[in-house]
Structure 1
Amino acid sequence: MDRQLISLAVAILLAYVGPGRVVEAVLTPQQIENELAPHVGNTSHTPQFSPNEIRNSTCWGRGDVRYRTLDGLEFSYNTPTTKRGIMVMPWRLLPWWVVTIQEFFNGGPKTRIDEVYVRCSGQYFRADLGHTVALWYWSGTVWVAIPPPPPPLIFAGGDVTVGAFAPRGFTISCHAVPMTVNVYLHSVRITMTPLHSAANLGVRGICGDYNGDETNDYSNLEPLILPLWKPLLVPP
């Protein structure tokens, strides 16, 4: 999206929700990019493939905190509040990713997902999770609120659309990736296609490597030895 379209989108959103609905005291996209940067371009891993047919699949994180990888491994892990959870990112460069931040649940030690950050097609979104979900769009300088429930909003010339997702959530559809991210309650769901399976060296992170075999996915997100090709939490 060029600067004129970005300015127009921000102006529309500000007119819709009011000029006071901006947030600055949270993570910026550049902070997340900087934390992911050490892992960019490392392709030393050769995925092990499964004979199982690879189909569209959904990875999720929800509650306190339960996860499911794209290959179907389900597990619970109290992801620390001091670290970012790398749900999914590509093997090369950083054209798209989904990152979470956790909070203590009922005073701890259990944690749950509190915020979700999404990048695709040059656009950045931030979801503040809870009984209701607040969704924000990065204007280039500040986070600007997207009111619920939104009409279908179009970003990046149609490569990204944002709409409502029940209950009380949002759907971010990254058509160019392709990837669909649903945010609701204290949950995030990420649906991907075989275009990002291990056969195409597609994904890594908590969601696994999408090779059709759950046995090589991690259920311990802080192993003693974790190669750079598979970041799960940052900073290490």
Structure 2
Amino acid sequence: MKMLVSIRRLKFGLRIKRSLESATHWTRKETLLKMTGQGGMAVLLIIALITVTSVTGAGPIPFTPQEEAQRDDATAEIANLPAEDQEALPTGPIPPIPPCECHAHGDVRYVTCDGRVFKYNTPTNVYGIMAKSIITWFWYVITRQEFFDDTPKTRLSAVKFKIFSYFVIVDYKKTSNPDGLYRITVGNDYVVGPIAVLYESLGPDTVVPGVKYVGSGFNISIIEKDGDWYIQVRCILLPPVLFDIYILVARHCLQLHIPPIWQSRIAGICGDWDRDPANDVVILDRWPQVTAPFRRFP
């Protein structure tokens, strides 16, 4: 009787082992057959070149003829790429993508992320969308213009930098005096009135460098760069690796610093940042210009 029970247990164990091997084999086969889309070929190669061991510890499961054919086809496709699809690997480290340095100057001249330089006299009844997150308004930088010197020419008069509901508005000085004051307003869409209002000078005899305000998602400071003084508004709401975006303001000019993580993920005057300056928008008679007022920017 004991011998009969042992034989039955052995047969039952063998049936379970075969079922597990069959399930493991079928799952891997079905995964290979379903691989499509971007990155599928690379994953297919990795799986095809790695020996899979079943959960029972019985050893590697051999490829089926169909799986071997898929592996061979993928290897041959990579080995036989046409010359136009091949690119020699650099001899040294791959250089990092530099951040975007987008500019708006004076009356009003622009430099896009792709380096396109152009001039456009932006009207005073519209705002310029310098840069924004593509599709959504998660973050954006927009400008306001004004006439100057009793001419039809316009120049920057204010800039708004916003992320989520937090924002900073910098109003440019209203006088040619270099000691004129810039007004800096810190606010939140869900707070009545300004959170903070600062007045700062960038004049050589009156400037006071250093950190001026930290809070509400921003760090505001006066810094020196290339021999000139700037108001720097830097977002600190998110980790720098995700969102190290900041603006520099001085003398009716604006500079935007946008990290590479946003390449091809922005829209606006700064451009689509696809390394092709030829397709940047230079006639701003429509988007990325919008009718004022816009998004609580009076």
Answer whether TM exceeds 0.5 for this pair.
yes
| Runs of at least 5 residues in structure 1 that lack an aligned partner in the other structure | 1-50, 224-230
1:138 maps to amino acid: G
Partner SS, residue 151 of structure 1: strand
Contact 1:123 / 1:155 at 8 angstroms: preserved in 2? no
Query: Partners in 1 of 2:192 and 2:251 — Cα distance?
Result: 27
Query: Within 5 A, what are the aligned runs for 1:1-236?
Result: 54-130=97-173, 131=178, 132=180, 133-138=182-187, 140-143=191-194, 144-148=196-200, 149=208, 151-156=211-216, 159-166=217-224, 167-175=228-236, 176=238, 177-198=243-264, 202-222=265-285, 231-235=287-291
Query: Partners in 1 of 2:244 and 2:164 — Cα distance?
Result: 10
TM-score, normalised to structure 1's length?
Answer: 0.67
1:174 maps to amino acid: C
CA RMSD of aligned residues (A): 2.4
| Runs of at least 5 residues in structure 2 that lack an aligned partner in the other structure | 1-86, 88-94, 201-207, 293-298
How many residue pairs match? The answer is: 174
Q: Pick the structure with greater CA Rg.
A: 2
Q: Name which structure has the greater RCO, CA cutoff 8 Å, separation 6+.
A: 1
TM-aligned CA deviation for residue 152 of structure 1: 4.7
Partner SS, residue 215 of structure 1: helix
Structure 2 match to 1:45: none
Contact 2:211 / 2:219 at 8 angstroms: preserved in 1? no
Query: Partners in 2 of 1:151 and 1:194 — Cα distance?
Result: 26
TM-aligned CA deviation for residue 121 of structure 1: 5.0
TM-score, normalised to structure 2's length?
Answer: 0.54
Choose between structure 1 and 2: higher helix proportion: 2
Contact 1:121 / 1:174 at 8 angstroms: preserved in 2? no
